[in-house]
Amino acid sequence: MGKPILYEILEKPATSCVIGMCTAIWLYIQKKNIGYSHVGLSYEAAIEGHYWRIITSAFSHISIIHLVFNMSALWSLGVVEQLGHMGLGTEFYLHYSLVLVVVSGVLVLGAYHVLIQKFKLEYFRRVTAVGYSCVVFGWMTILAVKQPSSKLNLFGFLSLPISFAPFESLIFTSIIVPQASFLGHLSGIISGYAIAWGLIHGMNNYWAVSMLGWIIFVFVLSLKRSGAFHFNFLEIESVTDLSLPSVRFASGNGRTLQMSSLPVVGVNLL
């Protein structure tokens, strides 16, 4: 028999808090009928100053299937919190979850910029990314490097060798979920390797608190400058339900916001 769920929650406090927060945000989004285009990350929104979307997009999910899949994988990866003897542990988890959210979001925008400016692929200008899987793929990669003998368990019945899980999952999700963000997931993998190989290092409580302070400052400032300071978008009607992976959205599928009048041409699940 496995451990009691309460015991596991106490062993993975940070993971449990993140899962609880993402679930609460999803419930709030459903209650308020908020569309993905109003919280997701897109290149066009970013160049208009909507930097706050790097944060809101990471913690928002557009369907229960999307939420359950990401949170199930995250729960399995919470073993990172139990590996303090390997230099990981709960503090490491909190510090570098913050890094993964920001760095993976910036990498997604950078990839969009290259595709748009260098390869003239205008489709990526308004593709909107939503979900926590950039961070999930980041932790998957870190664990693959630090603890290659581990297993990634999904939904209690699917088990993958963690050493191959990042790229297996990248290919698997891209095939079975056409809307899955290949670039978003890849950015999580790149960020994870940068942390695991020590290219990004030195995070401690001081730097984590400082980084969090700057994130809050930029978040609030960009909310104000983008015209979303009063959160008027919270009463906007939702777009079509995206529970089915094969659904694609055409241009102009959301309500016009006070803070943005840009159409959305697609959605990528992170």
- Tokens representing 139 are 């932790």
- Whose tokens are 């303090």? That residue is 84
Q: Alpha-carbon distance 96 to 104, whole Å?
A: 11
SS3 content of the chain, % helix, strand, coil (to 5): 60, 5, 35
CA dist., res. 39 & res. 55, Å (int)? 9
Contact partners, residue 145, CB within 8 Å, separation at least 6: 192, 193, 196, 197
Closest CA to 207 of 91, 105, 108, 101: 91
Confirm if 165 and 140 have CB atoms less than 8 A apart. yes
Angle of the 64-77 helix axis to the 13-32 helix axis, nearest 10: 170
Place of tokens 């369907």: 63
CB 258 within 8 A of CB 227: yes
23 contact partners, CB below 8 Å, separation of at least 6: 67, 71
Question: Which is catalytic among the residues 133, 187, 226, 238?
Answer: 133
What number of CA atoms fall less than 13 Å from residue 249's CA on the CB side?
A: 27
Catalytic residue chosen out of the listed positions 42, 63, 185, 222:
185
Any catalytic annotation for residue 97? no
| Residue pointed to by tokens 């994130």 | 215
Q: What string of H, E and C letters represents the secondary structure of 235-247?
A: HCCCCCCCCCCCC
Query: Among this protein's residues, is 261 annotated catalytic?
Result: no
Please identify every residue annotated as catalytic: 133, 185
